[in-house]
Structure 1
Amino acid sequence: MEFKENSIQYEVVLRDPQSVLQKQLGNDLKVIDFKTKTFLQLGDNYGSTILDVQVKIKRKNDAEEEKLDLVAKMLPPTEFQRIFFETQISFKKEIFVYENLIPTYCSLYNGVFDITPKLYGSRISITADVDEVENDAVILMENLKVKGYCMEDRHKGLSLAHIKMTILSLAKFHAIGLSIKHKKRSYLPTLQRYMKPMIIINDVMKPFITNVLDVIQADPDLKQYYDRIKRTGNFENISDTYYNSLNVEHPWACAVHSDLWVNNVLFYRNKLEGQNVAKFIDFQMSYISSPLSDLIFFLCISMERSLSHIDEMIELYRLQIIDISKELGCAVEQFSKEKFDERLKIDAANELYHILLMLKVVELPKNEQIETSLLNDNCIFRLKNIIRIYTDKNWI
């Protein structure tokens, strides 16, 4: 995926990691040396610059030298990307998730809740007392790949085992989020302040949606559903319905990831230790909505293209969120099969434009641009399976 060539380009370089690390590891820490290199292949991350960082440190003057393997998340390199991804808002929001939201969730839940990389520090500017997100903004996290975590192939989709691992972690994330209304109501204004949805630029997004809708209208198998699909969102003003915010007081409201797909989940499997772990990254699009919007987006975009086992995975999620809610001492009536399915129908329809847009991203061949790439056979195959499920379940 590439962006407009005439957009202003910035040099994004990690400077002074010591001041960032000292926030987490103490003021005595000294950086002896550090080096960086590109962490991801072109096309694996669209809204950020991601660097592999190796840092040599001493925690005190007389301490042994240590090496830290880190990842630096920084601003994207073009002005267009910074406007498109609203980095003045989204970067602060992601820092909030790692520094505030996740620790708050951990304080509310007595069980194991370890779904994000360890944070090593962050800043929005290298200049003190600046409230604007500047070019040196950075989030430093542990490098999960060095620890044996891996990212799966977005073109193949996730195996059933990986889907299950993700569903169990996602349901836990949502259950704890929903519990805040009952266990820590004083935190709700903070959530409302930081967890706002991105503003969608109609002129940018509409051509992508139009491209998919045109394929649907021209396809012999799908054209009968064209009007129903188009009506699930406000086509003339996509920003009205692309994200579906809920007030924090709404019974179904919690923090949602909003961009949970293959590229934003890393997996660790150790059969000898019996460990199966899924960790989530990239929270810049998170906001307050229904958890089932996360669920249906993840399944439609991240499963193998046939989308077989989708019913089984939806039920696994429902049972897991019931179990975790009970552990948290919260009522579970809203997760009865009937009420759950009622809400899922609403959220599935609301989420369809988001899913349609991501289809091209998931199936985009290497070295092609999303603006000019056509929907390929893999994309259309996944699209047909999604629409089949939506119509069979009367979601549209």
Structure 2
Amino acid sequence: MDEMQTALPVKELHNLLQETLGPKMTIKSVVWKPLTNPGENYGSLIYGIDATIARNNTTEVLNLVVKIPPPTEYLIDLFNSPISFWKELIFYKKIVPEFTKLQMESGIDPDKLVQFPLYYGGRLGLTDPNVFDEQAAIVLQNLIPKGYSVRDRLLGLDLEHTQLAIEELAKLHAVTIGLKLKDSEFFKYSVMPALVHVANDTTMETVRDMLRQVHDTLKELPEAKPYINRINKTLRYDYEVDYRLSKPSEPWGTMVHGDYWSNNMLFKYAENSHPISIKIIDFQLGYYGSGAKDLIFFLLSSVQDELLNNSLEDMLDYYYKSFINSLTSLKVDTEKFTREGFDEEVKKSAPLKFGQCIGMTNVIHSVRGVVKNMEDVGKDVNFSAIGNNIRVQKKLLHILQIFDKNQWLID
């Protein structure tokens, strides 16, 4: 996409940057471009901005990513943008610094920290920075010039990418638990409010409509017929045990990312093309729950089918060992975090993620170029239909086989 020379979509960018760079910082020039294609992200508009700034008698170029709300009232309601933007703003502004502080005080090697894009500034609205409007904004470091990139969602992750993603997820869950145990007051009054669920009535109705349509697709597939009764029971259980209301078993409660799949992670590569680093992005949907929920959705949504078939148990084991190692590095007593307890969390969490696993398949495996622009999305949009193709049907059947093999469907 070409860099744009027209008016910057984000108003008063200088005020946003001055939050962290100081009041004497000035912007000399900017160039910008959209960073997401149609269908890659509906929850926000995302721009890449290269800003030439001056401060302390020096000039430098900042590579930035700026997120602002989606362009239609329907999408703002669907993603509950007033809440989701507030959650992500609090995450970067208040919670990430405490994550970093805890890890540094624990003596963890800086190269081993769970790390996030640098935060430069944010607001809920232009008129009042604490009241949501269409100019809500979060300004972060653009990781692409640093060598990071998103893996092609249609390829699936191989073993190297998968292990990096699992290890980083385990670190995120562990550092959340570490903060909960070591600074319970901050966790209770600053972290937990930011882990409120974003789902509203519009969100839940859209999700259930997606599931109804995927359910109808499965009913028409001959290969799915042996599973239909258990599919029905598992989806009914998913409906009845609303994930917004279900409570995690302690001490396993942590920050669930809520949307941990390959589009929400960026990888950096060595000269030999092997992935060596990862950063997690998009923290608008986080909630308090069992980390096993993130793990199940990640594995079923993002990992290559052959790897799932041959190494699922190995990947569960890899997560558990990484999680325990991370807790140990934070000097957290791991006695209560037994392997038996983890296996129970996986067993309880999997049926509750079945709906997300099959519901998101159409989106994740949609063919490029068939999805509407965000400006054209209204209540009539059919998210399930955008990817209903042979590839999607094959993936749905594979998810069923994995759930069946591991006894994750409700009998």
Report the TM-score when normalising by structure 2.
0.87
Unaligned segments of structure 1, at least 5 residues: 1-10
Contact 2:365 2:387 in 1 (8 A): no
Whole-angstrom distance in 2 between the partners of 1:119 and 1:64: 21
Q: Using the alignment, how far apart are the partners of 2:274 and 2:211 within structure 1?
A: 43
Contact 1:156 1:305 in 2 (8 A): no
Q: Is the 8 A contact 2:358 2:399 kept in 1?
A: no
Alpha-carbon deviations, 1:273-292, whole Å to 9, x = none?
99811101111111111001
> Could you give the per-residue CA deviations for residues 138-157 of structure 1, whole angstroms, max 9, x where no partner exists?
11111111111111111111
Match of 1:75 in 2: 69
- Give the gaps of 5 or more residues in structure 2: 1-6, 372-382
| Residues 271-350 of structure 1: pairs in structure 2 closer than 5 A | 271=271, 276-306=276-306, 307-308=308-309, 309-350=311-352
Is residue 54 from structure 1 mapped to residue 53 from structure 2 by the alignment? no
Matches within 5 A, 1:19-168: 19-60=15-56, 63-110=57-104, 111=108, 112-128=112-128, 130-168=129-167
Equivalent of residue 385 in structure 1, options 377, 395, 398: 398
Identify if the C-alpha distance between structure 1 residues 34 and 240 changes in structure 2 by more than 3 Å, giving closer, same or farther.
Answer: farther
1:334–1:340 CA contact under 8 A, matched in 2: no
Aligned counterparts of 1:239 and 1:305: Cα–Cα separation in 2: 30
Contact 2:114 2:171 in 1 (8 A): no
Deviates more, 1:19-28 or 1:364-373: 364-373
How does the TM-score come out when normalised to structure 1? 0.90
**CA 1:296–1:274 in structure 2 vs 1: closer, same or farther (change >3 Å)?**
closer
Q: Which moved more, 1:224-233 or 1:117-126?
A: 224-233
SS at match of 2:370: coil
How many Å apart are 1:205 and its aligned residue?
2.2
Q: Deviations over 1:318-355 (max 9, x none)?
A: 00101111122223244433221111010111111111
CA shift for structure 1 position 264: 0.6
Aligned residues: 381
Counterpart in 1 of 2:377? Answer: none
SS of equivalent residue, structure 2 residue 43: coil
Pairs within 5 Å for 1:159-178:
159-178=158-177
Task: Give the distance between the partners of 1:224 and 1:275, measured in 2 at CA.
Answer: 40
Change (3 A) 1:383 1:274: closer
How is 1:181-260 mapped onto 2 (pairs within 5 angstroms)?
A: 181-189=180-188, 190-200=190-200, 201=202, 202-234=204-236, 238=239, 241-243=242-244, 245-246=246-247, 250-260=250-260
What SS does structure 2 have at the residue aligned with 1:225? helix
Give the number of the structure with larger relative contact order, counting CA–CA contacts within 8 Å between residues 6 or more apart.
2
CA contact (8 A) 2:164 2:277 kept: yes
Cα RMSD of the aligned pairs, angstroms, is: 2.3
Shift of 1:173: 0.6
Alpha-carbon distance in 2 for matches of 1:188, 1:229: 38
Counterpart AA for 2:28: I
Change in Cα spacing, 1:333 to 1:229, as seen in structure 2 (3 Å) is farther
